[in-house]
Amino acid sequence: MKDNTRRQETEERVLQGTAVSRGIGIAPLHVVARGFSAPEVYSITDVDAERERFKEALDITKGQLSALQKRIEAISGEKESRIFEAHLMMLEDKAIVDRVNEAIAERKQNAEFALYAIAQNFLEAMRRVPDPYLRERTADIEDVCQRVLRNFSHEEPRDGAPLDHHILVAYDLTPSDTASMDRRQLQGFATEMGSVNSHTAILARSLGIPAIVGLQGAVLETRALTPAIIDGYSGKLILYPTPETLLHYEALRSEKERVRHRLEAQRNQEAVTTDGRKITLSANIELVKELPYVKHSGARGVGLYRTEFLLLEGEQIPGEESQTKIYTELARSLAPDPVIIRTLDAGGDKLPVEPLLEPEPNPFLGWRGIRVSLDRPAMFKEQLRAILRASAHGKVSVMFPLISGIMELRRAKDLVKESMDELAARDIPFDENIDIGVMIELPSAAIIADLIAPEVDFFSIGTNDLIQYTVAADRVNYRVADLYRPTHPAVIRLIKRTIDAAVQNGIWTGVCGEMAGDLRLTPLLLGLGVEELSVGPHQVPRVRHAIRALSHAECAAMADEALRTPLSRDTLELTSDLAMRYYRELID
C-alpha cells in the first residue's frame, strides 16, 4: 500500500494558476507558509544555550523597536508611534516567552523554529476569530516574530537552509519580498494570492522572474524539495515532471533563450520606427543592484527609479547622506544617460511609510503618494536635498507621484526651492535647472494637463493607477479584474489629452506604467504620440524590437480609429492586429 501511495505522490501533476511574468523555471520547490518564511530547523543538545539565544534575539528586537518608536514619534508625533508599544508588550508577554522556552526543551530544536511553530499555531487560531479587529492584529504578530527571527545569529551555516536554486511557492509575497529576491537562485515563484496587475507581479516582470499567481491551495498541495517546472507563459506549475515533459520544457527554454540573445544583440541600436520616429526607451528600477541589467539591456537611462524600496525596507528611513550616496551612484553610473527619480510613493497597495493606529477604510483614496511627502515636509526635504546633490554628478530629474491638482504641485515645487536654498547656503553644488516632472496617474491630472504642463518639464503617465481610477476597478481585486481595461475608451482619451497638452506646451510625455511593456499596446501608444517608454530592464530588448518593426504613420492612423471606437475589445483588437503582423514571435 505504501508503495502505491508513493507512486501516486510522484506522478506528474499540474496545478493551474494565472501567468503574470513570462519565462520557464526548472528546480526543486521551496515552500513558505502563510505569513512569513519558516526558518531552518535543526536538532540541539544544549537547551540552556538555545534559550539564551532566544533571550538575546528578544533583547535586540526590543532595542530596535524602541529606536523605531522614537524615530516615528520625531517624524509624526506620539500618537502614530504608539503602535510600537503594543509590539514591545508582545515581546514581554511572559506566556508567549514561556511557551517558546518550553518548546525548545520539548522539541530539542533550535529557538527560532520553536518561535515560528508557536507563532503559527497562535496566528491560525486568530485568523478564525470572527472579530475583524482581532483578525487584523495578526499582521502585528507576524511583524514582531519576523523581527525576532531576523535577530538570531549562527556561528556557521546549518543544514536545511533555503535551496541554492529553487522555485518558491508561497501564500502571498509583498513587493519588498519580490524586490529583494536573488535572481541568480530563484527560478520562479507561484503564489495563492495576487493578480496580473499587483505590484508583486509588476516587479516580477521587471526583474525577469517567471511567476504565477492565483494558485489556490498551492502551499498545502506541494512539498518542499519536489522537482517542478514553472511555466510563466501558460500559468502551469508542474510537479514531478516526466522525462518527456522535462525535455519539452528544456527545449522551450532554450528556444526562448535564443530569441532573447538575438534581441540583446541589438542593444546598441536606436529605438526608432521604420519611418524615422525616435522613441526614448528607458528602464524602471527599484534597486541599485539592477543597474547592470539596465546597462546590459541597452536602455537609455532610467525613466523611473522607485525610491520607496530604498526608503522603506530598513528599520528606519535613511537620512540625507545615505540617500545622496545611492542617488549619486545612480547618476554617475548612468551618465550621460538620464535618471528620473520619483519621490516617495507610499501607501495604497504599496509599502506603508509608517504604521497607522487604524487601517484606512479605502487606502487607494487615502494617504499615499505626494500626500504623504507634503504631510512630512522634513522627511520630504531630506529626499529632495539628496536628489539635488546627486544632480551635480549626472543628468538627474525629479518626479512627483499622484499629483491631483495645481496646488499640490506648487507646494512640492516650493519645497524643492527651499531645499535648493538650504544647499546653496551650505555651498553644496547641485543642478539649479534640474528638470521637474509629474506622474499623470489620476483622471483629474489628465483632464487639467493643459494647466499642469506650463509648470513642469515633462509628463510620465502611470497607466496602472490611471486605469484603476478611471474605471473605478481595484487592479489587485480579482472580482473586478475584467473591468480593468487598458484600452477602455476613457483611458485612451485621457492619454491622448495628456500628450496633446504636453506638445502644445513644448514638453515631452512618457509612459512608465505596465502598458509601456505590453507589446500588444506598443502600436497604440506610439500612435497616440508617446515620446518615451520606460519598462523593466528585462523587457527593454523586446520593446525595442517592436518599435523598430513598426511604422509611426501606420500606428497613428490606427490610433485615430481607436479614439473613435466605443468598445475596449475592439481597440485591443486594432492594436493587437498591428503587433501580430510585425512581431508575432514576441507575443505568442
- What span, in angstroms and rounded, lies between the C-alpha atoms of 233 and 230? 9
**How far is C-alpha 192 from the chain's CA centre?**
17
CA atoms within 13 A on the CB side of 110: 17
Q: Which fold has domain 8-34+162-255?
A: Glucose Oxidase; domain 1 (3.50.30)
Mean pLDDT by 10 residues, the chain (588 residues): 51 93 91 67 87 92 82 61 71 85 87 80 67 65 82 52 73 72 84 80 84 84 84 95 96 92 91 98 92 93 92 75 96 97 82 64 86 94 98 98 98 98 98 98 98 98 96 84 93 98 98 95 98 95 97 98 97 98 89
Dihedral sign (CA 504, 510, 516, 517): positive
In the chain, CATH 3.50.30.10 covers 8-34+162-255
What is the DSSP pairing of strand 211-213 with strand 396-400? unpaired
In the chain, CATH 1.10.274.10 covers 47-150
The closest of 585, 586, 459, 578 to 523, measured between CA atoms, is 578
* Residue 441 known to bind ligand: yes
Q: Which of 512, 538, 552, 555 is catalytic?
A: 512
In the chain, CATH 3.20.20.60 covers 266-586
pLDDT of residue 552: 98
pLDDT of residue 181: 72
Is 199 an annotated catalytic residue? yes
**C-beta neighbour count of 247 within 10 angstroms:** 11
The closest of 51, 67, 65, 61 to 148, measured between CA atoms, is 61
Contacts of 37 (CB under 8 A, 6+ apart): none
Q: Which helix (H) or strand (E) holds 224?
A: none
Amino acid type, 444: S
Q: Which fold has domain 266-586?
A: TIM Barrel (3.20.20)
What is the DSSP pairing of strand 227-231 with strand 236-239? antiparallel
* Residue 505 known to bind ligand: no
pTM above 0.85, yes or no: no
With beta carbons less than 8 A apart as the criterion, state whether 345 and 367 touch.
Answer: no
CATH of 47-150, one of 1.20.1050.10, 1.10.274.10, 1.10.3480.10, 3.20.20.70: 1.10.274.10
The closest of 121, 161, 127, 119 to 144, measured between CA atoms, is 119
* Residue 147 known to bind ligand: no
Q: Which of 30, 166, 199, 488 is catalytic?
A: 199
- What span, in angstroms and rounded, lies between the C-alpha atoms of 409 and 439? 11
pLDDT of residue 109: 81
* Residue 306 known to bind ligand: yes
Q: What's the angle, vertex CA 315, arms to CA 109 and CA 73, rounded to 5?
A: 125
List Cβ<8 Å contacts ≥24 apart for 77-86.
79/357, 80/354, 80/355, 80/356, 80/357, 82/357, 83/140, 83/355, 83/356, 83/357, 84/355, 86/140
